[in-house]
Amino acid sequence: MREGYWFSATLGFYILSSAEGKIRGEESVFLVRAAAWDEAFKKFLAVGRREETSYKNYLGHEIRKRFVGVTIMDQVGDVDLDGVEVSSTPLFEEDPTITFDTPLDPDRSVPGQCGIGG
């Protein structure tokens, strides 16, 4: 039985303050599995709504994360997703001291976490 195709989407959010209005935007990439484009789109809408939240900051102002919409959506396919790139962000960090011959050691990486998952 086929479970469908993998789809990726970039969802847009606004972070709003009761005192200052929109204080920043945010884009997050999510994956869903669906049989068709329309079904995937509906799932992404549900994900975006699920991600909305609110809290009070240290000044007592209410902060809300509001879902704006699906900004990019692609069908990834019916593939094994182990190691598949989902998102890429250009950093535009110039440093002429780093050259083709500069040694790099990715094994010493210390990854951070977003605080999601179980």
Q: How far is CA 47 from CA 52, 61, 76, 92, 113, in A?
A: 9, 26, 18, 30, 20
Tell me the pLDDT tens digit for each residue of 62-100. Answer: 999 999 999 999 988 777 777 766 776 766 777 788 788
pLDDT level of residue 1 (50, 70, 90 thresholds)? very low
Tell me the pLDDT tens digit for each residue of 27-74. Answer: 889 999 999 999 999 999 999 999 999 999 999 999 999 999 999 999
Spans of all domains in the chain = 1-75
Tell me the C-alpha distance between 12 and 66, whole Å: 9
| pTM summary value | 0.73
Longest Cα pair distance anywhere in the chain, in angstroms?
Answer: 54
CB 10 within 8 A of CB 78: no
Query: What's the pLDDT score for residue 90?
Result: 65
